[in-house]
Amino acid sequence: FDASDAERPTAMHRNIDFHAVPLSDRTTTNLMVTIFEELEINREHLAKHLGEGTADAVVELMTNQRVSGRYKEFNLLPGAVDVHGFEWILLLGLGKRSKIRHQHRLHDRLRSVIAIAARQFRRKGLGAFAADDLTDFGVAPEVSGRLIVEGAMLGTYRFHRYKTKSDDAAPNDVPI
């Protein structure tokens, strides 16, 4: 037993700043957007966040099966800072909307894909990302905030008791 071990935390929860701001404020250049497998649902949702041109490009990628909306599948695309203000866009699949019959199932899926987003942005060394508007899917704003916080905290959780140094930088800012 080493006395220094007693002072070292066994689990690491990062201090992440969560704040609600309009997406148009562009407080970060990285965006997480959720998508379904059905193309018609995605077009309007994507256009709201990325503009018509980028939404059409993503839908075309989905039509050509280069991008998927399957549950837990993710696609990290380079953005166009001069067009919509985002350097990176992470598309996260929620599966088929028609198969999600209960609101709690949608909440579980959203929490899971937000955890995936936090891990993906951490792996890329990106310290901040914005989450899209989950109210488009019928999720209340208060619940959206809770799901984003829970997902990001679950995704950035690390057990460090036996590590001598940290190997990844976690997101530290998540505008909601």
**Cα 175 vs. chain centroid, distance in angstroms?**
11
Spatial distance between the Cα atoms of 30 and 169, rounded to a whole number of angstroms: 15
Instruction: Enter the DSSP assignment of 44.
Output: H
Radius of gyration of the chain (CA): 17
Q: Global pTM?
A: 0.77
- The H-or-E segment that residue 115 falls in is helix 103-123
Spatial distance between the Cα atoms of 103 and 5, rounded to a whole number of angstroms: 44
Q: What is the pLDDT along the chain (176 residues), one digit of tens a residue?
A: 223 333 434 444 456 777 677 767 767 788 899 999 988 888 888 988 888 988 999 999 999 999 999 999 999 998 887 777 888 999 999 999 989 989 999 999 999 999 999 989 888 888 788 888 888 888 998 999 899 889 988 888 877 677 777 655 556 666 65
Spatial distance between the Cα atoms of 51 and 67, rounded to a whole number of angstroms: 18
Spatial distance between the Cα atoms of 98 and 108, rounded to a whole number of angstroms: 16
Backbone φ and ψ of 10, nearest 5°: -85, -25
**For 97-141, how does the pLDDT look when each residue is reduced to its tens digit (9 = 90+)?**
989 989 999 999 999 999 999 989 888 888 788 888 888 888 998
